[in-house]
Chain A
């Protein structure tokens, strides 16, 4: 699985967009980009995933560069409840296998008033 690099921490004002970057320069053609987050003392929560096209759901948007070597998770209107550690994970997206996730250290997002 491709290795990812994320900033250790970021701050964002409540109501503003939070843009969390992730570098994955060694990503392979069949590897997806997944984002999870972990709010303090809770289990990780799936946010979104994508292969090469930009994706959007009710929680966030995922922007993947054309060369797929980096991506950005966007929380359009961050709230205090979005304060969490955000993990960018790259791996093959085959649903027919265990698709084990390798969590790095992530980005600690602090949303402030």
Chain B
């Protein structure tokens, strides 16, 4: 499928478990981003990547790990999930010649 996809769309996990959220884009965009969205906070940037093997922290990186071995994939891992990480997670990408970010459909994560 063309565009930006996220998987899984819904996930329930237990406190302390490791979970990985996947993000895949087909445009070969250089930049990719992970946001989380919580009631009362809007969207907050977790991590971003300017290219393969180049990542940097955003506003709320604690408890998350990212990697980017291939341009098209940008997985987000919660190493030991906590209830405070219950949220909706959005992945986005942007090319080097445009200003707009394109967002995926989101992953709704619940940590019990």
Q: A95-B97, A100-B48 are in contact. Are A106 and B103 (CB under 8 A)?
A: no
Provide the main secondary structure of the chain B interface.
strand
A99 touches B94 (CB 8 A): yes
Contacts across chains A and B counted by CB atoms under 8 Å: 56
Interface residues on B, range: 20 to 34
Interface residues on A, range: 20 to 34
A45 interface residue, CB < 8 Å from B? yes
* Bound complex: CA A97 to CA B96 (Å): 8
A98 touches B56 (CB 8 A): yes
CB distance from B43 to the nearest CB of A (A): 4
Hey, which bits of chain B sit against chain A, CB under 8 A?
A: 31, 33, 35, 42-45, 48, 50, 56, 58, 90, 92, 94-106
Hey, which bits of chain A sit against chain B, CB under 8 A?
A: 32, 34, 41-46, 49, 87, 93, 95-106
